[in-house]
Amino acid sequence: MKNGVFITFEGPDGAGKTTIINMVANEFKDAMLTREPGGIDIAEQIRRVILDKSNTKMDPRTEAMLYAAARRQHLMEKVKPALDEGRVVLCDRFVDSSLAYQGYARGLGIDEVFTINQFAIDQMMPDLTIYFDIEPELGMQRINSNKGREVNRLDLENLEFHQKVWEGYHILLNRFADRIVRIDASRTLDEVFTETMKVLNERLKQRAL
């Protein structure tokens, strides 16, 4: 029986998502912080294939199914056991990434990608999703100025692709208006963090999740 709280964090590349999540996890010491593939061996192996820069021939449906497969393994091995124990789970990216990147930006269709993901997640949708919103141009600028950052296969996509990712997320914001909360990530890290904590504290207090 699920009785924990499942919170996911989403956003286009360069939104500062990962930095903010680490700051949030510092405040919620009892929460479990994870990210797909979350150190789960099988999921890590799948992910390596997806993000390998030499896999230029990868078909978009193959990519979508591999993400769903990695997601399933991470969910079953790590997320579900923590929720069953009643813990708060903070997860960096989940199903909405697939809907925005594969469903919308790659053009597979949000509904089609949702269908294969429903098989993978089996009703286990997040209780709350924080979406860090950043205009694609600004996101790309931030990535390019962060020289130490590892470049993966999806980072190599052009601005047009990232523009579509952003549009995809905005479709999801409308579609899942009760679940997804938008936070403007073009501001300073401190401002974004403060607003994120405010949203999380309000929602957790209400437990109206």
Task: Return residues touching ligand TYD (CB under 6 A).
Answer: 13, 17-18, 35-36, 67, 93, 97-98, 101-102, 152, 154
Least distance between ligand TYD and beta carbon 1 (Å): 26
Q: Which residue is nearest to ligand TYD (CB)?
A: 101
CA distances 208 to 22, 132, 203, Å, are 24, 21, 6
By beta-carbon proximity to ligand TYD, the closer residue of 13 and 127 is 13
Least distance between ligand TYD and beta carbon 48 (Å): 11
Give the residue among 187, 178, 180, 41 at the shortest CA–CA distance from 97: 180
- 32-35 and 88-92 beta bridge pairing: parallel
Q: CB burial class (10 A; 0-12, 13-18, 19+) of residue 111?
A: exposed
By beta-carbon proximity to ligand TYD, the closer residue of 13 and 133 is 13
Least distance between ligand TYD and beta carbon 123 (Å): 18
Least distance between ligand TYD and beta carbon 91 (Å): 10
By beta-carbon proximity to ligand TYD, the closer residue of 36 and 133 is 36
Give the residue among 38, 8, 11 at the shortest CA–CA distance from 200: 8
By beta-carbon proximity to ligand TYD, the closer residue of 34 and 85 is 34
CA distances 200 to 7, 58, 80, 209, Å, are 9, 38, 20, 10
157 alpha carbon, distance to own chain's centre = 18
Least distance between ligand TYD and beta carbon 50 (Å): 7
By beta-carbon proximity to ligand TYD, the closer residue of 30 and 59 is 59
